[in-house]
């Protein structure tokens, strides 16, 4: 691994992020990443966070048109409430704060506690839970569906609504609508390796893949012999569509898990588009790349979000973050 020692991986990464992105304020000691112009007067602030190892989620999505702040935890470990309260105090302009929480038990508990503490300090807080993964109902890390790729859609679209000066109730409503209209399914071609463990997090023999994997290496629906990109797309996209059943156009995220090159992701995207066309689903926009990763895992996930004209307008709105940028 390209690291010094496992104990300093997150801090080292934050120091590098601070040097590379002067438009952000990176508190390495307290592990809070804030857009430098925060708080923005009259604007709802969006805060998210989670375990490190999923980059660019979440710190890479801090900036105009998306998150106001992000709280990175240790690798695959929830940030602590103190981080979130510190972030809320740094970005709240008086218009309120929206916590965007992926559905993992540690994240849910810690964000709930942070919301109570922030409200004790006079900060108005709303929360939205992201639970888009159709692969399994419960997992080692969750009660209910896991929060995965739809987190990007929620952060981008709700961030655009906040950027326009919409009130907290409306920004929260938009975020919930995006989550409710989104579904994801992921596939692992190899296991990931955490710096602390130094070995793969689960056993996946050569020539096999795991269908329905989570972003922490959680088990999926089933293990099979290696499949072609076409076969994986058939399985994954149909699993999403059978649950979502969209009647409007969709946003498509073809997301790499960290170790799959763009050459393969674009080829996989072509197969995803084929299945959508065969199922009569119109595609509004497509995003391909590594956005919600799992360290060095090879594989990909597909996320679909059904959109109306308003959600599509907010998706297209300008955004300027290290991990996502257009229109500015």
Q: Which residues are tagged catalytic? A: 54, 216
Closest-CA residue to 217 (of 296, 130, 111): 296
Phi, psi of 213, rounded to the nearest 5 degrees: -70, 155
CA-to-CA dists, residue 291 to 57, 182, 213, angstroms: 6, 16, 16
Phi, psi of 311 (to 5 degrees): -65, -35
Q: What is the DSSP secondary-structure string of 60-120? A: GGBSTTSBSEEEEEEETSPPPHHHHHHHHHHH--SS-EEEEEES-HHHHHHHHHHHHHHHH
Residue 209, φ and ψ in degrees, nearest 5? -140, 160
Cα–Cα separations (whole angstroms), residue 323 to 11, 86, 126, 217? 19, 23, 25, 23
Kindly provide the residue ranges of all beta strands, DSSP E only, lying in 157-274, ordered along the sequence: 182-188, 208-211, 222-225, 250-256
Q: How long a stretch of residues is the chain?
A: 328
Q: 251: alpha, beta or left, given left = phi > 0 and alpha = psi -120 to 50?
A: beta
The single residue listed with the structure tokens 């952000």 is 24
Beta-carbon contacts of residue 156 (< 8 Å; ≥ 6 apart): 61, 65, 66, 314, 315, 319, 324
Q: Degrees (nearest 5) of the Cα angle 24, 47, 108? A: 140
- Rounded to 5°, the CA angle 137-178-149 comes to 55
- Residue 50 tokens read as 């989670």
């Amino acid at each position: 691994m390209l690291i010094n020692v496992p104990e300093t991986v997150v801090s080292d990464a934050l120091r590098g992020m601070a040097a590379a992105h002067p438009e952000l304020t990176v508190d390495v000691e307290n592990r809070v990443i804030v857009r430098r112009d925060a708080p923005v007067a009259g604007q709802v602030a969006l805060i998210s966070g989670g375990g490190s190892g999923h980059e660019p989620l979440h710190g890479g999505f801090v900036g105009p048109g998306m998150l106001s702040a992000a709280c990175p935890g240790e690798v695959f470990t929830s940030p602590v409430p103190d981080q979130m309260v510190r972030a809320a105090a740094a970005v709240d302009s008086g218009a309120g704060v929206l916590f965007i929480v992926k559905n993992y038990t540690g994240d849910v508990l810690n964000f709930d506690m942070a919301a109570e503490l922030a409200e004790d300090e006079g900060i108005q807080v709303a929360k939205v839970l992201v639970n888009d993964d159709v692969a399994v109902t419960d997992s080692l890390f969750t009660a209910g569906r896991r929060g995965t790729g739809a987190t990007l859609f929620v952060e981008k679209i709700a961030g655009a609504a906040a950027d326009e000066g919409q009130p907290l109730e409306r920004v929260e409503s938009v975020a919930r609508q995006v989550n409710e209209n989104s579904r994801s399914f992921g596939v692992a071609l190899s296991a990931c390796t955490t710096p602390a463990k130094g070995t793969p997090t689960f056993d996946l023999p050569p020539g096999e893949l795991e269908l329905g994997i989570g972003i922490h290496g959680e088990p999926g629906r089933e293990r099979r012999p290696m499949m072609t990109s076409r076969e994986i797309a058939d399985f994954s996209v149909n699993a999403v569509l059978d649950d979502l059943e969209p009647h409007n156009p969709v946003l498509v995220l073809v997301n790499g898990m960290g170790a799959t090159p763009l050459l393969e992701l674009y080829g996989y995207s072509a197969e995803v588009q084929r299945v959508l066309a065969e199922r009569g689903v119109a595609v509004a926009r497509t995003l391909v790349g590594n956005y919600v990763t799992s360290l060095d895992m090879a594989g990909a996930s597909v996320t679909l979000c059904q959109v109306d004209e308003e959600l599509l307008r907010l998706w297209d709105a300008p955004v300027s973050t290290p991990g996502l940028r257009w229109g500015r």
